[in-house]
Structure 1
Amino acid sequence: MTGMASAHTTPAGQRPGLRERKKIQTRQAIRLAAYRLFAEQGYDATPVDRIAAAADVSPSTVFRYFPAKEDIVLTDEYDEAMAAGIRDRPLDEPPVASLRRVLIDMARRLTDDEREEMLTRLTLIRQVPALRARMGEGMAKTGAMLGEVLAERSGRSPEDFEVRVLVGAVLGALQEAVLHCFDHRREETMEDSVDRALGMLARGLPL
């Protein structure tokens, strides 16, 4: 998901193990090298082997973490944190309320560097058609995760009609909240945008 959580902590604020931290560091080194090169010479003019050299890893290492160049921009570690956060919420809490609380908490934990990286990612997504085309695949994976978690809480199947409609509505609201924040970042924070979007869903989309 084009995201809203720290990639370096669990939902409970615990640091991941050494092996996972090393993986995160490698992924981040590749991302930062890619962002620097994209800014210098453009996305389309930057091949993966040049990104690998700038990150001091092999091209095969880049592809081990990111199957395609688009995934360097689009892949994040946020879905797992979101799922764990939802599972920790009270079972009698309405699903949109649980999502709202978890996502706002995730947004508030973003560091300044992570907020800046998110803006870089959104800028690239706005500018590069290939990224927008592939973003749908990532949203589908996030939707499948949300469907499973919400189905667990309600005792329904992830394929239940109401579960699927709710997931689709939430994903659409989140995408628009993130893009709205990007377009109006001097006026509204990410957590404010998410709160407004999910608040509309909770109230039944009043206009």
Structure 2
Amino acid sequence: MPDQPSTLRARRRAQTQRTIQAHAIRLFGERGYDATTMNDVAEAAGVSPMTVYRHFPTKEDLVLVDRIGELIAERVVASSTGLPLSRRIGAALVDAAAALTGDDLTADRQFLLVRLRLMISTPALRARHLDNQYALQQAIVSALGDEAADPDTAFRAQAAASACLAALHTALVRWAADEGRTDLPRLIGQALAAVFGDDVAGSAR
């Protein structure tokens, strides 16, 4: 089993990354983003500052790095190719939100809520968040593989992904304003309905 050591290292690396980020988000929420340093995060996580920088090269990365793009891409790949792109992407967004905010995932839901508040309220993070939105759009299009191989199809996929992500952003802002008390997948479905109509929203929730 030659891959076992490398797999174990990858798991340890992922766990270290999650631990560092969890402490960072907690500190940012308690003290404020600007008042918290990378050294503060390292001390709270019980690692060296060098380890923090190895996993998160910039302070913004401590907030913005996530697996959401991966989750959405997986669900796009698994969706039926016979459905319109907007329905497939919309359903992927709703399913990913449900996976991150389920009833048995209170800690994950709180983590996501604090991250979202930071993205909305911190100017430096708002700018980087736009870059992340573009990267997420590209991840969705890439997940379509050969379906988006020609320029015209890729263009339509980019447009559909952009519209769905705009609906997602609107739902996330509302969810943050509601202090996470409302059902995020349902809010996303409502935002999709406002953009595409009830047919897409219904298939996405």
TM over 0.5: yes
The alignment's TM-score, normalised by the length of structure 2, stands at: 0.80
Amino acid at match of 2:167: A
Counterparts of 2:62 and 2:49, CA distance in 1: 13
Amino acid at match of 2:60: E
Counterparts of 2:153 and 2:37, CA distance in 1: 40
Specify whether residues 109 and 99 from structure 1 end up closer, same or farther in structure 2 by C-alpha distance, changes over 3 A only: same
Offset of 1:159 from its aligned partner?
Answer: 8.0
**Partner in structure 1 of residue 83 of structure 2:** 93
Counterparts of 1:103 and 1:52, CA distance in 2: 33
**Partner in structure 2 of residue 128 of structure 1:** 122
| Cα deviations by residue, 1:90-119 (Å, 9 ceiling, x for unpaired) | 111111211222222222223111111111
Specify whether residues 143 and 34 from structure 1 end up closer, same or farther in structure 2 by C-alpha distance, changes over 3 A only: same
Counterparts of 1:40 and 1:148, CA distance in 2: 38
Moved more, 113-122 or 165-174: 165-174
Matched, 1:38 2:32: no
| Match of residue 68, structure 1, among 58, 72, 75 | 58
Aligned length: 189
Contact 2:77 2:143 in 1 (8 A): yes
Specify whether residues 91 and 159 from structure 1 end up closer, same or farther in structure 2 by C-alpha distance, changes over 3 A only: closer
Contact 2:76 2:92 in 1 (8 A): yes
Partner SS state of residue 158, structure 2 = helix
**Partner in structure 2 of residue 54 of structure 1:** 44
**Partner in structure 2 of residue 173 of structure 1:** 167
Offset of 1:32 from its aligned partner?
Answer: 2.0
Root-mean-square deviation over aligned CA pairs = 2.4
**Partner in structure 2 of residue 9 of structure 1:** none
Amino acid at match of 2:116: L
| Cα deviations by residue, 1:162-199 (Å, 9 ceiling, x for unpaired) | 23322221221111111112213466311001111223
| Match of residue 83, structure 1, among 49, 69, 73 | 73
The alignment's TM-score, normalised by the length of structure 1, stands at: 0.80
| Match of residue 112, structure 1, among 106, 110, 124 | 106
Specify whether residues 36 and 154 from structure 1 end up closer, same or farther in structure 2 by C-alpha distance, changes over 3 A only: closer
| Match of residue 13, structure 2, among 9, 17, 23 | 23
Name stretches of at least 5 consecutive residues in structure 2 with no aligned partner.
1-6, 199-205
Name stretches of at least 5 consecutive residues in structure 1 with no aligned partner.
1-16
> Which one has the bigger helix percentage?
2
Offset of 1:39 from its aligned partner?
Answer: 3.5
Counterparts of 1:71 and 1:36, CA distance in 2: 15
Contact 2:113 2:180 in 1 (8 A): no
Specify whether residues 63 and 144 from structure 1 end up closer, same or farther in structure 2 by C-alpha distance, changes over 3 A only: same
| Cα deviations by residue, 1:93-152 (Å, 9 ceiling, x for unpaired) | 111211222222222223111111111111212221111121112112111112223463
